[in-house]
């Protein structure tokens, strides 16, 4: 079937024919191959990279990387980052580049979590792994040179869903909530009912047909865990959640649910900063050299810096900005 030609910016044209390998039999070898990238992350003159192991709720060890700018003073702020990949793919090369950019740009530590993946580990396992990593960073912050009061969560795509879910779970379970949540073209609504889902059935990188597959792999049994932690927008209350940065891509089936989640957060008094990028498709961060990507990273870094600087009394101030 012929695909629709979308007016996507020239920076991303070489990726417009990208289609993820979503056949069940292809996922295990793809996960194994992509998972090797994790072990190759090394320190540089500007950043130290240390390999960590975090205990999951079931006793399994979760791999993680801790990025730290070499001249960072302690205790330092930290971003706990969850990569995208539809809950089924390991981190891609650009995810590691993003972690480095956030660490150096926001001058913070970045805890990069290698959570377990569907379909072998469906919901709620990946979400619980991400929650365990958040708790570990908060509880072991002093030993890691991290200020427990200045830990944010963030993620792109599926990772945005996981960051939102961790924020909800921390609130629900009486844990300290993150100081901020950075959600980049996030999944927020597993119902798949928005107009952009209905419209973008053949967009590159990710479209609603792909999302149906991802949902099938990640959520084979919606009753296996609390619905809110798979589909955050369905939570009865979004009160007392951390300030949010939400960024959307123009030609993306997830476009509308990102905006709607921001609006719903605002209804509960949560501050939201919304940025709608133009000429972009889902996963546009893959072109790190693009001026659009560089500008987006600058905005994300600025949000993190402000969030780390804010004192607790200001965290519940409600506002909704767009660009």
User: Does the annotation count 157 as an active-site position?
Assistant: yes
Q: How far is CA 115 from CA 18, 68, 122, 130, 143, in A?
A: 24, 20, 11, 6, 22
Q: What gap in Å lies between CA 166 and CA 208, rounded to an integer?
A: 24
Catalytic, out of 129, 138, 156, 157: 157
Q: What gap in Å lies between CA 131 and CA 115, rounded to an integer?
A: 10
Q: Give the contacts of 20 (CB within 8 A, at least 6 positions apart).
A: 86, 89, 205, 206, 210
| Number of residues written out for the chain | 323
User: Does the annotation count 252 as an active-site position?
Assistant: yes
User: Is residue 53 within 8 Å of 63, Cβ to Cβ?
Assistant: yes
β-partners of residue 76 are 146
User: Does the annotation count 147 as an active-site position?
Assistant: no
Sheet (strand 47-55) strand order: 47-55, 61-69, 109-114, 76-82, 146-156, 181-184, 244-248, 272-276, 320-322
Catalytic, out of 138, 255, 275, 282: 282
User: Is residue 40 within 8 Å of 49, Cβ to Cβ?
Assistant: no
Catalytic, out of 161, 189, 252, 256: 252
CA 205, 210, 215, 216 dihedral sign is negative
Q: What gap in Å lies between CA 131 and CA 162, rounded to an integer?
A: 8
User: Is residue 322 within 8 Å of 244, Cβ to Cβ?
Assistant: no
Q: What gap in Å lies between CA 154 and CA 79, rounded to an integer?
A: 7
Residues annotated as catalytic are 157, 252, 282
């Amino acid at each position: 079937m012929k695909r629709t030609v979308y007016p996507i910016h020239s920076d991303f044209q070489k990726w417009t024919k990208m289609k993820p390998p979503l056949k069940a039999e292809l996922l295990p070898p793809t996960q194994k191959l992509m998972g090797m990238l994790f072990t190759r992350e090394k320190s540089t003159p500007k950043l130290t990279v240390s390999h960590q192991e975090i205990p999951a709720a079931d006793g399994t060890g979760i791999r993680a990387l801790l990025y730290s700018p070499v001249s960072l003073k302690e205790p330092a702020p930290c971003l706990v980052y969850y990569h995208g990949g539809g809950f089924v793919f390991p981190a891609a090369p650009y995810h590691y580049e993003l972690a480095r950019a956030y660490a150096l740009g926001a001058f913070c530590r970045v805890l990069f979590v290698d959570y377990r993946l569907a379909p072998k580990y469906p919901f709620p396992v990946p979400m619980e792994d991400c929650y365990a990593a958040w708790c570990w960073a908060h509880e072991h912050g002093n030993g890691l040179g991290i200020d427990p009061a200045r830990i944010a969560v963030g993620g792109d795509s599926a990772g945005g869903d996981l960051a939102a879910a961790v924020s909800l779970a921390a609130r629900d379970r009486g844990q300290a909530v993150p100081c901020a949540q950075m959600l980049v073209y996030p999944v927020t609504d597993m119902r798949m009912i928005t107009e952009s889902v209905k419209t973008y059935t053949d967009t590159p990188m990710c479209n609603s047909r792909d999302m149906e597959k991802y949902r099938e792999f990640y959520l084979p049994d919606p009753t296996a865990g609390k619905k809110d932690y798979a589909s955050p927008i369905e939570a009865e209350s979004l009160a007392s959640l951390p300030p949010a940065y939400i960024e959307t891509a123009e030609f993306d089936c997830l476009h509308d649910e990102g905006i709607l989640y921001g609006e719903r957060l605002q209804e509960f008094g949560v501050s939201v900063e919304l940025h709608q990028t133009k000429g972009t498709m889902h996963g546009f961060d893959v072109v790190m050299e693009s001026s659009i990507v560089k500008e987006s990273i600058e905005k994300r870094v600025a949000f993190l810096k402000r969030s780390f600087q804010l004192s607790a009394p200001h965290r519940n101030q409600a506002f909704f900005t767009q660009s």
